[in-house]
Amino acid sequence: ENLLEDFSANYLVAIACDKKGFAIAWADVSTGEFNVIKTSLDSLRNDLAIINPKEILISDKFFEDPEISSVLEPWKSCITNH
């Protein structure tokens, strides 16, 4: 119970990409709220700032890409790569 903050969203974010762009999916683990948006690399940082995730799941491919890694730098402490 004490692991989650009571008065703020606890968003778990997953980021995916294909040739058409990026997608961000996020869920609030405390309420079950779920959202998905299409985005671009240029908008990714701003979108994540608005969502304010507690954890971000990304593929190893993203983790190793210097351009994507630089966008994700402000959330480095909450990234889980697989």
* pLDDT tens-digit series, residues 29-46: 889 999 999 999 999 999
Look up the pTM and report it: 0.85
Mean pLDDT of the chain: 90
CA distance 61 to 52: 22
Do residues 11 and 51 touch, judged by C-beta distance below 8 A? yes
pLDDT of residue 49: 97
More confident residue, 25 or 61: 25
- Among residues 66, 12, 5, which one has the least CA distance to residue 34? 12
- Tally Cβ neighbours within 10 Å of residue 19: 4
